[in-house]
Amino acid sequence: MTVEGDTSSTAWWVLAEFHPFTTEVRGIPVGQIRKGWCKATEFRKELIPREFLFAGGEDAMEASQRSFAIEGQFDGSKTRQVALVGVYEECKGPRGRFVMILDLPTVGKPRIRLLGAFKTPHQYSALSLDDDQTITVWSCMDCDDFTMLKWDRKRQKFVWRPPPTYD
């Protein structure tokens, strides 16, 4: 991760540029995740410099109840799942962020249930989980820029939901 700019006037996650460096995510080779990707790295707290994550003396992610990976049974089945976020790089060079939901079987490799990828110069993202198993994907640490994912029983798949509107 590199940060260029004045972090005293602009939030670090807006200035941050993430550089993927791994060729697999949770044991899945990058080329099997998405054709044309050469690198993808799951975000982890230890990849964020401490001076940014603990600015103000507390863990900003814990304080905002956000995480880079959350586990649950998001589709109501008995299969454990994980939702995670990270950064990818295409073999041709462009980068972006991704959100993935994986089934975590008791035996064998994880299976991709959902992959959302977004080309963007600002790759930061984090997750939170609501009581109704709605996964919120945040594009910042302290703002209202988010999208939501929820299992749709009728359609038998995860669907992107529009954010609520306020009067």
What confidence tens digit (pLDDT) does each residue in 61-113 have? 888 889 999 999 999 899 999 999 999 999 999 999 999 999 998 888 899 99
Question: Looking up tokens 């991709």, which residue turns up?
Answer: 112
Question: How many Å from the N-terminal Cα to the C-terminal Cα in the chain?
Answer: 39
Contact 39, 20 (CB under 8 A): yes
What is the three-class DSSP state of 16?
A: strand
How many other C-beta atoms can be found within 10 angstroms of the C-beta atom of residue 156? 8
Buried b (16+ CB within 10 A) or exposed e, 22-47: eeebeebebeebeeebebbbbbeeeb
d(CA 33, CA 28): 7
Beta strands at 37-42 and 81-90: parallel, antiparallel or unpaired: antiparallel
Count the residues in the chain. 167
Contact 37, 90 (CB under 8 A): yes
DSSP label at 70? E
**Domain spans, the chain:** 2-158
Contact 72, 101 (CB under 8 A): no
d(CA 3, CA 60): 17
pLDDT per residue over 109-163, tens digit each?
A: 899 999 999 998 889 999 999 999 999 999 887 777 889 999 999 999 999 987 6
The model's pTM: 0.91
